[in-house]
Amino acid sequence: MPKLLFLIGATLSTIFLLSGNARSARADDTSSEVHFGIGGHYRVGAWTGIRYLGKQNITALETRDGDGAEVRYEQTDALTKGKWSYAVPGGEAVPLSLKSGDETIASVRFPTAGSPSRGPSMIPLGMNWIVVLGNPLGVDEVGANKLLNRDASIAVSKPTNPPELPDSILGYDGVDMIIINSGGIDLLRGLTMDQRTAIQQWITGGGHLFLTLGDSCLDLFEAAPWLQKLLGISEPKTTMIAPSAIETYTSTQNPLENFTGLRLPRENGTVLITGKTTRRVSIPVASVYNIGFGRITAVAADLDNAMFAAWPERLDLITQLTGNVFLPVQKDIAITNRGTAYADLAGQLRSTLDQFDVKRTFSFSLVSIILMALIAAIGPLDYLLINRFLGRPLLGWLSFPMVAVALTLVLMYEARPNRGSLNSAAVTDTSNGNEGIIRCNRLEIVDIDASAGVGRGFQASCIYSHDAALLNVEIGQSPNFENITDSIQQSLLSPLGYPGETYGGIQIAIEDTRMPPYTIRLQQGGTPGNGANAGPLENSILGAPLAARSSKSLQTLIRFKPQLSTFQNLQRRSGSELLKGELINPLPVDLLDGMLVYRNWAYLLQTRFPAGGRIERIETLRQKNFRWRLSRQTVLESSRETEEWDASSVELPDRVAEMLMFHDAVGGIRYTQLRDEPLSSLDLSHTLSDDRCILIGRLADELTTLQLTDGETAIPSDGKSLTMIRVVLPVTSTKDP
């Protein structure tokens, strides 16, 4: 009998363990079907692609935003038919639930922070993120040391199959550079139209592409003709190039042999290395080309072939050509020296916008008059009225508190929250239908590249609610924006910021069960595979929770095709950094406090440059050193005086906007003592080259707004509302007679 009971118990235990293992295996199988970002790499606060390998169509993703509130990203229309879905993780290892209708397909968490070289991981802002299509060229070993057991200091994603690449530009949010070489020809050949369009839009929208074009460039262009189109090459031709220019550029002691390379175009771009062919003909060996708001660094050599792979200075060559992408990250500056909780310009921007005047302020003179009136009312009232006229001194025990209480009520009424004149600044609270205070501070930066025909818009907004509210928010467009826009490809809202040193927050717990969940609904017209011909990608926020006397930060990302009335190629004097000729305002709106920036010179325009206005001679404009103007540097006799950057200032959004737009031009972290990482794509310092200039100014009216979806009422500003616009114009060289 005991043996029988033992056998029964052992059998039941085995069945239980097997069933548990089966459930665990099914759970693991479900989790293994979910892939994050590119190669398991992603950034907090950036749009991240989630790829599901199962058969069901994903209709929603549930995760947490930077405030810890639950947010549901709904995929509608054609977005449910693809393998990719997109969301913004609010923190490290936040939970994620994949849903198909009402059914939960998988419940997982985003990867934790670790070493990206070891597998899926969250990539911190201080680490650059490189996506390699082909051979990594040794960049995946930067900073690695096997003796010290130290991993690489750069995150490198190396997809091997076309389905591993996102089908939308959102999947490349946070990527610092893409490397393409001959090793990725098969991968490029297998990309769909959506995947190709996503990479093109990322480049023109501000990305950096490193491209090697050697003996295999013809096969590379055959697999990806869009790369040839971006470079503006009509008929690619190769030639034999002598290695002396590269050897001199890197100061190497290891000689190279002759190699085959593409004849890079000279008409546009900036030549980094000028070499010679074996026939002693001058030829660009390495050049950088501005494509929209991004750039392509092209090298006329296959750096992944056997000769360059064995060359010790290959990584030094790549590092010198690409700037600080592969250089060690600078150490953080002590926060105690700045007196701020944030360490990035993005934190200063959000702190500047998160300032709302909801209380009426009274001057000291008015307070003094009120106190004098109180004393005068109590003294004469008690003596003349109570004692002399009524003759009842004991009534003073009633008159004194009555006057004090009445005056207190009057002061409390006058000190109530500022709802604006005639309630013009009040917005209806959509949660309970009561009228409350909802306001928005915003900074908007709109960029237009006239020659490439691309445009983008960024808006950082901070919404304040005096009473608890659930808001339905969408993006509104002004008539001026419609006048400069031919078509819109993307119009997206998402949370701005997350807990951490970058934005000045302290992350205690990512899950906040006190706030109700809300929804971000994405939709796109057309069908997958149409690429650029698909409908605009847009979304709206439904039921965003705001606690009483609280605020929430949002960002708007817009991509559009601009429609300019006219624009001309500006002319540069040969051998100088000065422009000549006429200047026409190509915008249908007036520019305020504008200037034309070329290289390091700023041509100051009149206070108002009207739409379609014309300046016959640029030479007549007053010229200033652009970097001196950004840093407010002045020359006093034989000395120079520079205005120090106040990292703790939260009063002037225009100064913060200047730093965001040209942070590297002013000196970067050496001047501001702040990093520029999550919003670094707004920096167009690299665009100030020989063949481009920037027309920049302020607009009197905003181009895009945040409005409530119920009543289509724009959320009013609290006084801090700034719209900047930049137009990139081509520059051609001419010879003076």
pTM: 0.86
Say how far apart CA 89 and CA 174 lie, in whole Å.
Answer: 12
- Distance linking the first and last C-alpha atoms of the chain: 115
Structure tokens at 511: 């899950």
**Cβ–Cβ under 8 Å, residues 202 and 175:** yes
User: For the chain, what are the domain ranges?
Assistant: 128-322, 364-414, 570-691+730-734
Q: Please give the sequence-ordered ranges of beta strands (E in DSSP) within 496-654, or none if there are none.
A: 518-524, 537-546, 550-562, 570-573, 579-580, 583-584, 591-598, 601-604, 608-609, 614-615, 622-625, 634-636, 639-641
Rg of the chain in Å (alpha carbons): 31
What are the distances in angstroms from CA 372 to CA 73, 399, 431?
59, 17, 45
Phi then psi for 476, rounded to 5 degrees?
-105, 150
> In this structure, how many other beta carbons lie within 10 angstroms of the beta carbon of residue 98?
23
Say how far apart CA 642 and CA 632 lie, in whole Å.
Answer: 6
Burial code of 251-284, b = ≥16 C-beta within 10 A, e = fewer? Answer: ebeeebeebbbbbbbeebbbbbbebeeeeeeebb
Q: How far is CA 549 from its chain centroid?
A: 27
Tally the residues of the chain. Answer: 737
**What's the pLDDT score for residue 714?**
76
**What's the pLDDT score for residue 709?**
74
Say how far apart CA 534 and CA 256 lie, in whole Å.
Answer: 48
What are the distances in angstroms from CA 603 to CA 135, 191, 293, 473, 638?
45, 45, 22, 40, 25
Q: CA torsion angle for 308, 256, 143, 165 (degrees, to 10)?
A: -30
- pLDDT tens digits, 12-43: 444 333 343 333 333 334 567 899 999 999 99
The stretches of 648-697 forming alpha helices (DSSP H) are: 653-661, 669-672
Residue owning tokens 């290395």: 273
Burial code of 146-169, b = ≥16 C-beta within 10 A, e = fewer? Answer: eeeeebbbbbbbbbeeeebbbbbb
Q: How far is CA 78 from its chain centroid?
A: 26
pLDDT less than 50: residues of the chain: 1-29, 332-337, 420-435, 528, 736-737
**What's the pLDDT score for residue 75?**
87
Please state which architecture CATH assigns to domain 128-322. 3-Layer(aba) Sandwich (3.40)
Say how far apart CA 288 and CA 688 lie, in whole Å.
Answer: 12
**What's the pLDDT score for residue 35?**
93
Say how far apart CA 611 and CA 20 lie, in whole Å.
Answer: 72
**What's the pLDDT score for residue 575?**
73
Share of the chain above pLDDT 90, in %: 51
Residue owning tokens 């009543």: 711
Those residues whose C-beta lies under 8 Å from the C-beta of residue 213, and which sit 6 or more positions away, are: 220, 261, 262, 264, 298, 299, 300, 301
DSSP codes joined into one string, 296-350: EEEESS-TTSHHHHT-TTHHHHHHHHHTTSSSPPPPPPPGGGTT-S--BHHHHHH
**Cβ–Cβ under 8 Å, residues 283 and 300:** yes
Between β-strands 177-180 and 129-133, what pairing exists: parallel, antiparallel or unpaired? parallel
Say how far apart CA 48 and CA 46 lie, in whole Å.
Answer: 6
Say how far apart CA 333 and CA 330 lie, in whole Å.
Answer: 9
Phi then psi for 66, rounded to 5 degrees?
-65, -20
Say how far apart CA 682 and CA 170 lie, in whole Å.
Answer: 16
Q: Is 185 helix (H, G, I), strand (E, B) or coil?
A: helix
Q: How far is CA 560 from its chain centroid?
A: 16
